[in-house]
Structure 1
């Protein structure tokens, strides 16, 4: 009996050692800059601002700021001081307490600050850095090549329009870095922040549709090497395509009379990490796949992505848990193709000249415009998850309740806040695209 008593601690120690080794996680050297996961503590959340005569974003911006302020510092960037003063007046009109909001003038600033703004990094020495990706207005050269069917003069003329402002927009991330005393890590890779999805441990999810469209002259090996260098990751998972209702640029014929516009496959529309070992994936059930062409396309695309994720491993060679999150019911708006639109008024209608020749529409056509509506364009910050709601537009309440339950389970201890942000969806973005987190500096 004595021998058995003496051996129990030894056996227990072996078991503990075995499981401890099994749970061993990758740790970054103190000097290595890397991108923390979004659920880690934030020092601030940034927003962009621009003239909003036609898009009607202001009420949603006001709600985002009011919701964030009790939990995290809010910072807003503006293209110029005049716009900053106008914004202060507008926010006060919306009932927003502007006390404590830090405001910056950064020439070239646009609304979608996550995409062109700073992708913040940290290291274990308490330092902050920014991954400075190149910017080409969401792969605009490739879209122009399609629109003008390779005609160099037309392409150059369209590219040079607003070029000065576009170049300034490409420098906003550097200006944010300077404002925060952060190191700037530049790369030739063209990429947007809405297409960066990391687990904070070394794994990055990318989408082939956007990455290769933006970087047609770079090899996969070069692209992977650069992402690893600037984001501090060691493992990359490649998705094939994003959602059908997030097509590349404005406007695109998605299928038949369904049209829309967007980024061409940003990850923050369809695939997100919930924690280092769990991935959320947008999903269309078998019973819904034939309701409309968009659902059918999303069903096929997400099934292909699901197979990829099932076979994927994390940075330590371990499989992921994959959770399917329903997409909202399809939302459409009947629109008319016009020869010209009012310059200073809101309309869902579209111009015939906005389409590429292979997807041409005719003046007078009636089409169905589709927003980039998804529960995945959410923001996780200190004590909060901000999620879009679609029940007011007729989407299933049962479906949205199922989404709530998933998020409550995956983000315990955080308040789940739903609010309507469809106006951003009509322009290819959402809550996540409208914000950019600045992580708290850490010290190992």
Structure 2
């Protein structure tokens, strides 16, 4: 099957998913409301809840940090967790209790297809002035999997088709989780053909959206920029879009990639929640590498060049009212690496950072026995803002500069006065290409007139 064939099939899957959901939601009166009044609030606005997902494979070692995140959130906001199955829900409850989490106040939902990174595939919540809740329902293709398969199998249609069909049912279910979340909350669904993940949405709540060309165009090769912009404006209620060029080098597209030389890693290919964030309607944080550090290693050099270009874009950008932004440069942590061995076969159980040779694309081939430097998606930008809190990742335990982390704390204390700033070690999530923000999704408070 050709790439075009896969994209057509994806659209058919998205249609079927929508049709299935309509059967469940046809009795929901909110589905009859007009789309035009909905918009996405900024993350610092009040929340009714924070959603999390739960990963079945405990070998990722996510659980301890999840427990700490939940207990930190609970005094401030309702916690909701979605699970792929009831049996997984029951084992999760037992694990949370073991971690010292009070589960009595947590709202739990069984949503087939749910996976850990709920921000990316889950509901992107919206509100309107009538006090109603909406959800922007983007299409889902597992982080641009078709494009990665084309590289991996060098255009071989049979191999691409075979790999695409693998786990197709699971992907279909995952693509419906946002609709299930909408149904659970009685929210209006606003669908779009645009393929996009929640970790790549950054809004100021007043009409401006930041996107990254590297991810948006990779996911939507058949759509024009004009079509993509019109859809984002329609479903997110924005009027102004700023386009970044590329994200961080240590957030390469898919798992796993040779970034430069012997440095390897995996990620999304440029999610905004790794390098650029609004902290208020007129102020933007941008990841930064100082000139004195840019030649320390190839990753720092790449990030320096990419963020320098993004800085120029932001300097020339205007908000929805035609006014310039204040841009604050935030240091990236010192580069973290781990020597790994390329193995023919990885352990089925237990934790390892070693990688398999067969998961790399031919043009970036590695060989069994190679020793490489694995790089995590480590960034202070994968943070969550909620009621009275800012949850940030910490890297001092991995050897990053305490002075840098203190500088980051100071920036956040200045930008979010009155909120408690809490740092967490989420390195296990970073090794898998994500962090705190990817692991959570805010449900905004409905506007009451």
Task: Give the match for residue 291 of structure 2.
Answer: 286
Pick aligned residue for 1:217 from 208, 215, 222 = 222
Does residue 325 (structure 1) correspond to residue 330 (structure 2)? The answer is yes
CA contact (8 A) 1:109 1:172 kept: yes
Does residue 277 (structure 1) correspond to residue 288 (structure 2)? The answer is no
Task: Give the match for residue 17 of structure 1.
Answer: none
Does residue 120 (structure 1) correspond to residue 116 (structure 2)? The answer is no
The SS at the match of 1:187 is strand
Task: Give the match for residue 5 of structure 1.
Answer: none
Pick aligned residue for 1:235 from 232, 237, 240 = 240
Root-mean-square deviation (CA, aligned residues, Å) is 1.0
Task: Give the match for residue 204 of structure 1.
Answer: 209
- The 1:30/1:223 distance shift into structure 2, 3 A limit, reads closer
Deviations 1:335-368 (A, max 9, x none): 0000110111210000000100000001000000
Task: Give the match for residue 342 of structure 1.
Answer: 347
C-alpha distance in structure 2 between counterparts of 1:167 and 1:95, whole Å:
35
Task: Give the match for residue 18 of structure 2.
Answer: none
Task: Give the match for residue 305 of structure 1.
Answer: 310
CA contact (8 A) 1:269 1:377 kept: yes
- State the structure with more CA Rg: 1
Deviations 1:227-268 (A, max 9, x none): 000000000000000000000001100000000000000000
CA contact (8 A) 2:35 2:190 kept: no
C-alpha distance in structure 1 between counterparts of 2:190 and 2:375, whole Å:
37
Structure 1 length-normalised TM? 0.93
C-alpha distance in structure 1 between counterparts of 2:107 and 2:58, whole Å:
24
Task: Give the deviation of 1:53 after TM superposition.
Answer: 2.8
| 1:421-432 pair list within 5 angstroms | 421-432=426-437
Does residue 249 (structure 1) correspond to residue 282 (structure 2)? The answer is no
Does residue 65 (structure 1) correspond to residue 65 (structure 2)? The answer is no
Does residue 192 (structure 1) correspond to residue 197 (structure 2)? The answer is yes
CA contact (8 A) 1:53 1:344 kept: no
C-alpha distance in structure 1 between counterparts of 2:223 and 2:448, whole Å:
36
Which stretches of structure 1, 4 residues or more, deviate above 6 A after TM superposition?
Answer: none
Structure 2 length-normalised TM? 0.92
Structure 1 gap ranges (5+): 1-28
The alignment covers a number of residue pairs equal to 416
C-alpha distance in structure 2 between counterparts of 1:155 and 1:170, whole Å:
20
CA contact (8 A) 1:421 1:431 kept: yes
Pick aligned residue for 2:168 from 158, 163, 167 = 163
Task: Give the deviation of 1:30 after TM superposition.
Answer: 11
CA contact (8 A) 1:44 1:439 kept: yes
CA contact (8 A) 1:30 1:124 kept: no
Structure 2 gap ranges (5+): 1-33
CA contact (8 A) 2:134 2:188 kept: yes
Task: Give the deviation of 1:443 after TM superposition.
Answer: 3.1
Task: Give the deviation of 1:142 after TM superposition.
Answer: 0.2
Task: Give the match for residue 395 of structure 2.
Answer: 390
The SS at the match of 1:298 is helix
